A and B are shown apart, each in its own frame.
Chain A
Amino acid sequence: MAHIILRHRDIPELNTLPVYQRNGGFAAFKKAVTGMKPEEVTAVVKNSGLRGRGGAGFPTGMKWGFMDNNNWPHYVVANADESEPGTFKDREIMEGNPFQFLEGVAIASYAVGANAAYVYLRGEFWQVAAFLDQKIEEMEQAGFLGDKLFGTDYSLRIYTHLGAGAYICGEETALLESIEGKRGQPRLRPPFPPSFGLYGKPTVVNNVETLTNVPLILENDADWYKSLGTADSAGVKVFSLSGRVKKPGNYELPFGTTFRELIYTHGGGIIDDRPVKGIMAAGASSSIIVADEKALDTPMDYASVRTLGGDLGSASVIVLDDTIGIDWVVNKTIHFFKHESCGKCTPCREGNYWMQHLTERIHSGQGDASDVELLNSVARQMQGKCLCALGEFATMAVVTGIERFPEDFSVKTRV
């Protein structure tokens, strides 16, 4: 099947403007601006069943529809702060298929009536940012961005913005704070960005992959997109496969593909052909799924993964085999979250610091059974109290790891 998102794998040099244009580039944007009302664009996206690819899986069209039309101007922000360990899809999209992504940004902007859009990239993506800047300039010169596009009154400009290297800026409100020049810390919600976003104005924040879907949805139609994937999760998804697999990488597959197919067919199986032990379906912030036969045969869509006690999230599938100690995984993720906690709310700031001491102790074999119990208790104590989702994410691997892989914790600890 031809790619929808990773089209550059089928079409060489798609990241150059002439090639992109030859392959139907900007037709959708032009169609929208010249022939459709913004509400119609939103309706198409809504009907397509497109859901956010950043992790939360919120219906994209519905989000666009929430924009407060009594408060102007509106903004569109593309979240390219791809910081989740195990996620590396957005970078490939932006490097390989930049115009389709930028066209998606442009269509979203038209749909919500925004005249300025921002692409927020993590600080380490400075090369990508420079590359995008160049592409944006090319689009401006070609008349796809700027004032009075396609002879209409619609104007749009896209700007890139580099973060300073904080995981938390992937949280949409922290991202907005960061663009505003403030500390990258999440805001209180509600109000949500569609009513109070960038500079206090209604703002749509969408993931890079989400927006990259949009041009083709508009070009084909909602039903075409819906026909891909499952009833609950329409369309295709780029799965970032990593961990103990032979062929890690990004794989664009329809929703509903099973874990087994992803790991064995596409990923080439496990290194040294060892058995799969666990799967983290949403990067470091995911629950650890016990990779039994049933789990491997579970289709990857939002609802099905949930039945396994996990979340598909951004579909960053990290595969763990039996050489990996779950205590090690937990220690690793907690180190990450302790380092990335922004410090705004107490449970996350203090809880991660505390958990890090405990996981370190347990992993190094210095801990005892009470430390495992305490770790579990601290993690549960954090749940449901944090200001943003990061604090909740931090506890996922800990709680599920201890619950589902108790032997990995008892072996290491002194009795």
Chain B
Amino acid sequence: MRKQVRLTIDDRQITAPAGTLIVNAAKQIGIDIPVFCYHPKMEPVGMCRMCLVEVGRPIIDRNTGQPVLEDGQPKIQFGPKLETACTTPVSEGMVVRGMSEKAKAGQNEIVEFLLTSHPLDCPICDKGGECPLQNLTMEHGPGKSRFLYDEKFHLEKRVPLGDLIFLDRERCIQCARCIRFQDEIAGEPVIGFYNRGRATDIVTYTDPGFDSVFSGNTTDICPVGALTTSDFRFGARTWELKSTASVCGQCPVGCNIVFNTRREAKADGRIVIKRVMPRQNEQVNEIWLCDKGRFAYHYTENGARLSRPLVKKNGKLEASSWDEAAAIAGGKLRSADGEVVVLASGRLSNEDLFNLKSLADGLGGKALLYTQMGGGDLTARFGVGAGTNFGEMGAGTTILVAASDLYNEAPVWHLRVKGAAKRGATVIVANGRETKLDAFAKYVVRYAYGDEVETINGLQQKEKIGEAITSAENLVVLFGSDGLGLNGTSNLAAACAELVQGRAGKPNNGLIGVWPKANDQGAWEIGFRPTDDLSSELKGKTVYVVAADPAGDDPQLAAALKEAKFVIAQELFQTATADLADVVLPAQAYTERDGSFTSGERRAQRFYAAVPAFGESQADYAITALVADAAGVELADSAGQVFENLVVTVEAFAGLTYEILAETAEQWPVVGRGDMYYGGTTYENTRGLGAHLVGWGERGETASRPRVQEETELRPKEGQWLAVPVTKLYDQGLTVRSSKLLESHIGAATVTLHPEAAKRLGAGAGELVEISLNGTTAQVSVLLDETVSASVALLPRGMGLPISGPVVAGLKKV
């Protein structure tokens, strides 16, 4: 622990660790020293000069080394100049005056300087109402301007830095928070300053502009309205918005968010989501959010959503009532005589999954998880312990990222692992190709696709890497499905689990699955299991498909569904699976209802209903209860009750209640209160930090288990390619594609090849090639990547091609 020093700030005595900056020491006791450029998550730069305070230090007698006393008190000498509180560390006996006339005058004068260039167009500014400059002008600004309005510097007001972020050059106060965020925290320095003096300007270095998935965060920390999102641009005034706490449902990180909602005339008077803002949870997402989480929510408001139950009559789906649809579905399930398959995905909440599992159990059927990634049984046993926090990891911690492209699969984990690396943690990346995390890793292990398990098993034998793993104080292993299917990931998970099995259950130690869906971990905990032969499981059964579109993903599964006895589809949209279904049940989006998700770190977190339900749709757990009732199984139909049942049934959830999940605690840095200027516009967490599931690690179980055999030989012959699935952040998935904003980021299907291999094929970058795999052929455009091996073709998942695991494929030039 660092040495504590005593000091006085505005007549209040405090102790703080040596090295703490004055501004933070003051904040900790509730004294706000105004800042613009300083941000508690970033290194101080002292540029804006807003935090000027008077700093006095005790006079030390050179001979004795003791403070000079005056009336029994140490004599304090104040410097002739004001000092910046954001760059000055506290020292023993220091006296800080932030409210003195001199300090106030200094602060007021800086605000006056800033306002000489600022356009003062608050009435039309999206930041108006939550703007640090506006707030500090109210407090420090001059009542009357001494600067002639005609002499204002006018600059362009509508500069798209990228397609998601707009810059207003006039409003910018050159604090560099955005630039520093991209550089220090995101590790993607894609924007920077251009020119100097008053002409200093923010520009983007990339094409397409502002090419980073963390770009939205810059708008949160921008202390003026210079950076705005194209999503919220002129969308509403901030004080008109209602905020509802939620959890992002896009990936297993489980970022805490807030939905800002408002009634809209444009939306026919409905209450709609105007924007998504991060909500502070220092253990999960700190105060950050990726752009997918921020901008992909539009699918929930898509007018094409299912609004009424549909029942197939004379071969056609026709609108029906809930009573009829539930009766038919329930009747068919009851009469299936146990030949029931409930197929659900991790997009659903814990409550939904629990009710579905209970229904399957009640009917003697199977509860199958629709996923291409295995190993959840192992993460349930060897998952990270309660209190795990990437934000606290540093020297002494080793983080192994195996077969995962965190930047695309779970961007905020990428950001946090990168942060841990910066603080001294040893990051090891093992992958078959280059990923963005490589740049921050201490060791990069490159393997040939197919050798994942051998590679992980061999890590401990390597000299330095082995040392880093075995002697680490803390060890976290993240494994993903980059280049792997269900069997591959199951085997990989077992190999990874062996590395951590002695440590599981301890904070900052254990296994984390980088799942494709937000609540896959919860599904595993509740008892859902995937199967490697889904087709044969579906044939001839009564199938209840929830939040999954097997028919749309894979023609083979579509064929299998056609052979099913009866299909009930419960969805947001009329998917290909719903087209094949006999009964279609319209579900609510998670923005419309209460519930909870379990993150990849095994943290259960609550979300709350933000907007009214679309049409007649109902919450998934309630629909299941309705159907179950008709099938003769009794289930709870309110989120709270379902969770209570879940807690007593599933051991991992034991002891949890909604109240516990809603508990909050003081977090550092303090954000989201009146002082927007300190932490930005991220919301304070008032609705729950969530809670960790019960750990199993202490039982001393071992991880090893028989390896699952790969079905096909994955050595491509001459003229063939090994097609390997990878994850693309913005894919054509149901929860992304209907966001118009992200259209250009989603694009069309691609295949990534080594330049030499592409040359052999006769195809250049951007050209179309025909790919045939798993019985389908499609045209995709070529991307080149030198780090891909010669006979490998990387295919992004969720882009219309049926690829669930590595497979031999044929490629030819169109």
Contacts and interface: CB of A to CB of B under 8 A. Distances in A.
Contacts of B47: 344-346, 387
B80 A384 contact: yes
Contacts of B113: 346-347, 349-351, 354, 381
Nearest to B200: A343
Contacts of A344: 47, 174
Interface in B43-98: 44-50, 52, 80-82, 87
Nearest to B52: A385
Given A353-B116, A357-B148, A385 B110 contact: yes
Contacts of A342: 196-197
Given A346-B173, A347-B49, A385-B109, A166 B116 contact: no
B339 interface: no
A354 B116 contact: yes
B668 interface: no
Contact of A353 (B81, B110, B197): B197
A350 B198 contact: yes
Contacts of B146: 374, 377
Contact of A188 (B44, B174, B200): B44
A341 interface: yes
A352 interface: yes
| Most chain A C-beta atoms within 10 Å of own C-beta, residue among B112, B113, B151, B193 | B113
Contacts of B46: 188, 345, 387
B45 A349 contact: no
A4 B106 CA distance: 47
A306 interface: no
A381 B112 contact: yes
B198 A343 contact: yes
Interface string A375-391: 00100010011110000
A37 interface: no
Contacts of A183: 192-193, 196
A338 interface: yes
B174 A353 contact: no
A330 B706 CA distance: 84
A350 B193 contact: no
B399 to A, nearest CB: 26
Given A188-B44, A385-B109, A343 B82 contact: no
A91 interface: no
Interface string A129-146: 000000000000000000
A344 B116 CA distance: 16
B49 to A, nearest CB: 5
B148 A353 contact: no
A340 interface: yes
Interface in A195-234: none
Nearest to B36: A346
B234 interface: no
Interface string A163-177: 000101000000000
B147 interface: yes
Interface in B185-207: 192-193, 195-200
Interface residues of A, number: 28
Given A183-B193, A349-B198, A357 B151 contact: yes
Contacts of B195: 343
A377 B196 CA distance: 25
B559 interface: no
A342 to B, nearest CB: 5
B90 to A, nearest CB: 15
A90 to B, nearest CB: 23
B499 to A, nearest CB: 35
A339 interface: yes
Contacts of A345: 46-49
A344 B117 CA distance: 14
Contacts of B109: 347, 381, 385
Interface string A317-345: 00000000000000000000011111111
Contacts of B173: 346
A377 B44 CA distance: 29
A381 B107 CA distance: 11
A341 B48 CA distance: 14
Contacts of A385: 49, 52, 81-82, 106, 109-110
B114 interface: yes
Given A188-B87, A357-B148, A384-B82, A347 B110 contact: yes
B198 to A, nearest CB: 4
| Most chain A C-beta atoms within 10 Å of own C-beta, residue among B45, B48, B80, B197 | B197
Contacts of A346: 47-50, 110, 113-114, 173-174
A353 to B, nearest CB: 4
Given A386-B49, A387-B47, A341 B82 contact: no
A349 B174 contact: yes
A274 to B, nearest CB: 36
A120 B49 CA distance: 29
B153 to A, nearest CB: 7
A385 B82 CA distance: 7
A353 B148 CA distance: 12
A342 B45 CA distance: 14
Contacts of B110: 346-347, 385
A165 to B, nearest CB: 10
Interface in B612-658: none
B391 to A, nearest CB: 25
Contacts of A343: 174, 193, 195-200
B796 to A, nearest CB: 36
| Most chain B C-beta atoms within 10 Å of own C-beta, residue among A346, A351, A374, A387 | A346
A385 B107 CA distance: 10
B147 A354 contact: yes
B117 A166 contact: no
Contacts of A349: 113, 174, 197-198, 200
A381 B109 CA distance: 7
B224 to A, nearest CB: 12
A158 B6 CA distance: 48
Interface string A283-319: 0000000000000000000000000000000000000
A341 B47 CA distance: 13
B222 to A, nearest CB: 16
A180 B151 CA distance: 37
Contacts of A338: 197-198
B264 to A, nearest CB: 39
Nearest to A350: B113
Contacts of A168: 196
Contacts of B80: 384
Contacts of B50: 346
Contacts of A352: 197-198
Interface in B150-168: 151, 153
Contacts of A354: 113, 116, 147
B333 to A, nearest CB: 67
Interface string A265-289: 0000000000000000000000000
B141 to A, nearest CB: 14
A53 B148 CA distance: 41
Contacts of B153: 353
| Most chain B C-beta atoms within 10 Å of own C-beta, residue among A338, A350, A374, A387 | A350
Closest 9 CB pairs of A and B: A343-B200, A350-B113, A341-B197, A384-B81, A353-B198, A343-B197, A381-B109, A357-B151, A343-B196
26 contacts: A183-B192, A339-B197, A340-B197, A341-B196, A342-B197, A343-B196, A343-B197, A343-B200, A345-B48, A346-B48, A346-B110, A346-B114, A346-B174, A347-B109, A347-B110, A347-B113, A349-B198, A354-B113, A354-B147, A357-B148, A357-B151, A381-B112, A381-B113, A384-B81, A384-B82, A385-B81
Given A188-B46, A354-B113, A385-B49, 11 more contacts: A342-B197, A343-B199, A345-B47, A346-B47, A349-B200, A350-B117, A353-B198, A357-B151, A381-B109, A381-B113, A386-B49
Interface of A: 166, 168, 183, 188, 338-347, 349-354, 357, 374, 377, 381, 384-387
